Amino acid sequence: MVIDVDEVESIMAILIYKSLVRGYSAHKSKVVVLSKQDPFS
C-alpha cells in the first residue's frame, strides 16, 4: 500500500482535529510537529 503526502497530511489533520494527537502540521515545510508532552492523549 502506498500513501502520498497529501493523504498523510489529511489523516494527521483529522487526528489533530479529533484531539487524538497533539501538535500541528506545517503544510509548506511538509512537517508534522508533535507536542513534547503527551502527544498521543
> Which pLDDT score, from 0 to 100, does residue 41 have?
76
CA 10 to CA 7: how far, in whole Å?
Answer: 5
Containing domain of residue 17, as a range? 5-34
CA 16 to CA 14: how far, in whole Å?
Answer: 5
pLDDT tens by residue, 1-41: 899 988 999 999 999 999 999 999 888 888 889 999 999 87
> Which pLDDT score, from 0 to 100, does residue 22 have?
95
> Which pLDDT score, from 0 to 100, does residue 27 have?
84
CA 11 to CA 8: how far, in whole Å?
Answer: 5
What is the number of structural domains in the chain?
1
Q: Is residue 27 part of a domain?
A: yes
The pTM is what?
Answer: 0.77
> Which pLDDT score, from 0 to 100, does residue 30 have?
84
